[in-house]
Structure 1
Amino acid sequence: MYFFNRIKKHIVFIVLFTVLTQTSADSSEDLFRAAEWDNESALVALALREFDLNTPNEQGEYALTVALRNDAFKAFYFLLSQQSVRVDLRNPLGESPLMMAALRGHLEPARRLIQRGAEVNKPGWTALHYAAARSEPDSVEMVRLLLEHHAYIDAESPNKTTPLMMAAHYGHRDVVRLLLQEGADASLRNEQGLSAMDFAQRAGRNDMLALVADALQPRVPER
């Protein structure tokens, strides 16, 4: 009898473990489906069940970043309102929610993330790199926001590419102008020996080339 009672306990444990594991897997799927499809109600239900909203999916992504990538603002703002949600979790590419907001041009979400304590500076690629690489005119306001919150203007990517280099190749003319006005160093080179002028030249962007070249000209002190 003792032997059979032990077997029954093991069976009950296995069944409970299977149910809980399946429930957790289903909840994770619900989390990312809600983040992708902007389903705030589903997120509220998960929060009421005390499901961990910081749970990554199989690709190592986090719901806050997924919501931003999919322009799912209701989902994003709900997640951000939960104090348990960590705002600096990074995906396997090293991207934080603030970096995704910068890349997508989501100014108000970026501002709210910073208010929640999101890190503006970090080693490697930064939100400023991502903002500087956008060619849309509204990227200027994103760059200005990050600089106002002490983004390091000459931040180096893993291969020492700076935001100015990214802007000269991919970004908007006014972003290049703003970075130069705020003191970006146009003389820096990355590990391939390329400067911001080289980036502009390779992209065939003569307007950027002229801006950077002008910044490199020695200034005659005013008398």
Structure 2
Amino acid sequence: MEVREVITRSGSVMSELEETWTEQTFYDRPLSVWTGDEEVIAADIFTSASIGWEDCIKQECYNDKEIVNRKNKGQWTPLMYAAYYGHKDVVLLLMNFKASVHIRNDMGCTALMLAAMCGNDEVVKLLLKAGSILETRDSMDRTALFHAVCSGHHGVTELLLKHRANPNTCKRGSGQTPLIAAAGTGDVAMVSLLLQYGALPSLTTHQGHCAIRIAHEAGYSSIVTLIQQWSSKGGPVVAPQLEDGPAAVEAKRSQMRQRGGALCVDSATVVPTDLESLLNELGLHSYMNVFREQDVDLQVFLTLTDQDLKECGIQKLGPRRKMTSAIARWHSNAPLRSSGVECAYADKLEVEMQELGVRMAEAMEALQQTKKQVTQERELRGVTEGWLVEARGRLQQCFQILTGIRNQLSAAHHLCSIATIQPSIIPKLTESMAVALKQVDFLMALSDPNMARGTK
């Protein structure tokens, strides 16, 4: 490393750094090396997490076990810094010290969102494994998938989609979906990826603009073509047009506000951070052991239906109804507990919507399976037709060869019939030729491609 002069606040030369110093040596030295102060200023846990300094983090956590979930003035935790800068080992270290993955900063972002917006694939994997909730929203109503799509990180986007992030989640204020956002930025690969994982081109913003229209107005013809081709395979793009009038547009906006789609956790004010806390709030803590035996955590619990709860061993109707109502309320960003006739009726509607969402997801899955079967049958038909064409070609070739043999035998038969040498052989030769001609005639009839044939 270069020899540099360290200047005190008065401007005088303090000392020269040794040429043998490494980068870690600078990290280990106090800030007084740079400022000339006599007091040693140690790096805090937030700075250490941002630069990946594990030793300092360990020491801080051993000295104060509560510091791991403490926020600084910017409302960031050490885990947020490590996730943002992609320090995988630091993230793992902090989680070993019980760092919570559910805490948010002043913008409502969790560590998962920060890792997604920076494209840190390995960190995202660790946070998902630790139980980060995929569909938590920040103060701008964006999920982790939105952050990954808007930042153009294809690897993180595919990773979130593989973990069943909802590709059709929308910003409830505008109706924008990840597909519409990707179409507006001209990212063809991102649009293709979202379509593969079930993003619907028919969904629109509250102004009635679908992804294909957004791409067309922005001049991204390749995206327009891609969505049109995809829509022709899976159904036409259904969106209100200007000539349909204001009523059609308003009806579509109402649908967009009420659509449920795949089961997800669209909660902007998540309070419980684990299943035990949620059950405590519902007064159903006695059922926690049932879920432990089934390895059901909060993320899995929020996708359960009434039938799933029966299979888990919860037979009483009252607790099951409380759980399904709580799940529905969580999805709708409503308070988990409330009373009154109107609330009971709303809970009933919410549960029915969730069940319809499950049925819709199952129907979409069955549709995809049917499409795969149709594709396989088309491929099999193409192969079979190719074999038939090849067989007909060989049959035609066989017929031509046999035609030539017959002509040769006919000529030989004719010569034998007029020959005068060795008259005793001529009848036998003639008879043999006649038999051969009959056999050739039979083969020609059998191989004639113009003749109609039965199943034999």
Residue correspondence of structure 1 range 92-107 to structure 2 within 5 A? 92-107=106-121
Q: Alpha carbons of 1:33 and 1:208: their partners in 2 closer, same or farther (altered >3 Å)?
A: same
Q: CA RMSD in A?
A: 2.6
Aligned to 1:69: 84
Match of 1:117 among 131, 148, 160: 131
Instruction: Compute the displacement of 1:164 (Å).
Output: 0.9
Contact 1:65 1:100 in 2 (8 A): yes
- Report the secondary structure of 2:69's partner residue: coil
Residue correspondence of structure 1 range 35-74 to structure 2 within 5 A? 35-50=49-64, 51-74=66-89
Contact 1:102 1:128 in 2 (8 A): yes
Instruction: Compute the displacement of 1:78 (Å).
Output: 1.7
Aligned: 1:130 with 2:155: no
Q: Percent identity?
A: 27
Residue correspondence of structure 1 range 12-31 to structure 2 within 5 A? 30-31=44-45
Give the Cα separation in 1 of the matches to 2:199 and 2:73: 39
Instruction: Compute the displacement of 1:71 (Å).
Output: 3.3
For these two proteins, the number of residue pairs brought into alignment is: 193
Contact 1:88 1:96 in 2 (8 A): yes
Q: 1:109-135 CA deviation, whole Å, 9 max, x = no partner?
A: 111111111111224311111122233
Q: 1:156-215 CA deviation, whole Å, 9 max, x = no partner?
A: 124322111122223742221121122211121223433222433454433222222333
Aligned to 2:223: 208
Aligned: 1:185 with 2:200: yes
Q: Alpha carbons of 1:53 and 1:219: their partners in 2 closer, same or farther (altered >3 Å)?
A: closer
Aligned to 1:4: none
Give the Cα separation in 2 of the matches to 1:48 and 1:203: 55
Deviates more, 1:202-211 or 1:141-150: 202-211
Aligned: 1:89 with 2:103: yes
Q: Alpha carbons of 1:106 and 1:219: their partners in 2 closer, same or farther (altered >3 Å)?
A: closer
Contact 1:132 1:171 in 2 (8 A): no
Residue correspondence of structure 1 range 145-160 to structure 2 within 5 A? 145-158=159-172, 159-160=174-175
Contact 2:101 2:131 in 1 (8 A): yes
TM-score, L = length of structure 2: 0.39
Aligned: 1:173 with 2:159: no
Give the Cα separation in 1 of the matches to 2:157 and 2:60: 35
- Report the secondary structure of 1:179's partner residue: helix
- Report the secondary structure of 2:68's partner residue: coil
Give the Cα separation in 1 of the matches to 2:130 and 2:219: 40
Q: Alpha carbons of 1:175 and 1:132: their partners in 2 closer, same or farther (altered >3 Å)?
A: same
Instruction: Compute the displacement of 1:147 (Å).
Output: 1.7
Give the Cα separation in 1 of the matches to 2:186 and 2:70: 34
Contact 1:168 1:208 in 2 (8 A): yes
Give the Cα separation in 2 of the matches to 1:191 and 1:90: 28
Q: Which runs of 4+ in 1 moved over 4 A?
A: 218-223
Letter in 1 for 2:179: L
Aligned to 2:122: 108
Aligned to 1:143: 157
Q: Alpha carbons of 1:176 and 1:219: their partners in 2 closer, same or farther (altered >3 Å)?
A: closer
- Report the secondary structure of 2:44's partner residue: helix
Q: 1:20-46 CA deviation, whole Å, 9 max, x = no partner?
A: xxxxxx99x712111222221111111
5+ long unaligned stretches in structure 2: 1-40, 236-370, 379-456
Between the two structures, name the one with larger relative contact order (CA 8 Å, sep ≥ 6): 1
Instruction: Compute the displacement of 1:100 (Å).
Output: 1.5
Contact 2:80 2:110 in 1 (8 A): yes
Give the Cα separation in 1 of the matches to 2:69 and 2:218: 40
Contact 1:188 1:195 in 2 (8 A): yes
TM-score, L = length of structure 1: 0.75
Larger Rg: 2
Aligned to 1:6: none
- Report the secondary structure of 1:91's partner residue: coil
Contact 1:134 1:172 in 2 (8 A): no
Instruction: Compute the displacement of 1:219 (Å).
Output: 5.3
Give the Cα separation in 2 of the matches to 1:66 and 1:219: 42
